Amino acid sequence: MNVFDVVAMGAERLEEADVYFGHGTDNASDEALFLSLHALGYSYDMSEDLLSAELSADQVLKVSQWIDKRISTRKPAAYLTGYTWFCGYKFLTDENTLVPRSPFAELVLNFFEPWCVPDNIKHVLEVGTGGGCIAIAIAKQFNNALVDASDISELALVVAKNNADYHKVANQVEFYCADLFPDTGKKYDVIVSNPPYVPRDVYDELPAEYHAEPKQALLAGQDGLDCVTRILDHAYEFLSDKGMLFLEVGEIWRELEVAYPSVPFTWIEFARGGEGVFVLSKEQLISLRSPEKG
């Protein structure tokens, strides 16, 4: 058996076991590849020769054991291996941090264009940073920008700080334990946030993989709007004059449109998939200070 064979075998077993995909990969083959490479200690850019080389019985057994672990625990693969990939970078993950998967990756790689002028982005705030993946990816993409990032979870921030050290951006990214907006006294050119936005009834029905993630990273009250409305109401206070808010609200974008009928949300279209991210300027945020709730 070679790498192709163990990946095919692993994918078949994952499918048969009906595990849920969506935490770093969205299909059985990619999930089996991730776990197989980890089990074998190989990287994604391994040589063709290594890919087709015959594996030892011990190597095949190791892959099989990682597939077993994924099936028996129903935990996202990133928690089993302790890392995942986001924006092309490796991030340490543990069960105190959401597994990175936000469509924000595409926005960061596109330098927030066409909504921002990249050279004008000097100060960025991420609200609800978890393991720091978005804040750190922004720091890597914008060498001259300073990034502040908040989270309410001290344990998530431990992981975020380790990731900042790992990516050598600790001098560019400052982490704050805060309820949404940290008290830095600064104004930001860009505020980004992928806050919790899952309504209670949806949360209760989610596959086991989601229940392995921190509840406070997903659940946001009965209607999922708890953090979102607070961010919408207060973000303008922390934005520079030409500042922009980018907020991910996932599937509850429809509820948000009903709750704020007069807000001109611009919903961003993603080439790589994902939905429910809008952008609003400071000016637009100021004009919605007294929302007509539906």
Ligand X SMILES: C[S@@+](CC[C@H](N)C(=O)[O-])C[C@H]1O[C@@H](n2cnc3c(N)ncnc32)[C@H](O)[C@@H]1O
- Which residues contact ligand X (rule: CB under 6 A)? 98, 100, 102, 128-130, 133-134, 150-153, 156, 179-180, 194-196, 214, 216-217, 227
Strands annotated E in the chain: 83-86, 89-92, 123-127, 146-151, 173-177, 188-193, 239-248, 266-267, 277-281
Nearer to ligand X, 63 or 137 (CB): 137
* Beta carbon of residue 156, minimum distance to ligand X (angstroms, whole number): 5
Nearer to ligand X, 36 or 129 (CB): 129
Nearer to ligand X, 179 or 251 (CB): 179
* Beta carbon of residue 127, minimum distance to ligand X (angstroms, whole number): 6
Where do the H-state alpha helices sit in 112-269? 133-141, 154-166, 200-204, 208-211, 215-218, 226-234, 253-259
Nearer to ligand X, 39 or 156 (CB): 156
Could you give the C-alpha distances from 205 to 20, 112, 161, 209, in angstroms and in order? 13, 34, 32, 11
Say how far apart CA 115 and CA 281 lie, in whole Å. Answer: 9
Q: Is 123 helix (H, G, I), strand (E, B) or coil?
A: strand
Nearer to ligand X, 243 or 276 (CB): 276
Nearer to ligand X, 10 or 182 (CB): 182
* Beta carbon of residue 100, minimum distance to ligand X (angstroms, whole number): 4
Q: In sequence order, what are the beta bridge partners of 92?
A: 83
* Beta carbon of residue 93, minimum distance to ligand X (angstroms, whole number): 9
Nearer to ligand X, 62 or 167 (CB): 167
Say how far apart CA 283 and CA 294 lie, in whole Å. Answer: 22
Angle between helices 3-16 and 57-73 (to 10 degrees): 20
- Contact (CB, 8 A) for 218 and 210: yes
Say how far apart CA 289 and CA 103 lie, in whole Å. Answer: 27
Give, in degrees to the nearest 5, the angle at Cα 272 between 167 and 269: 110
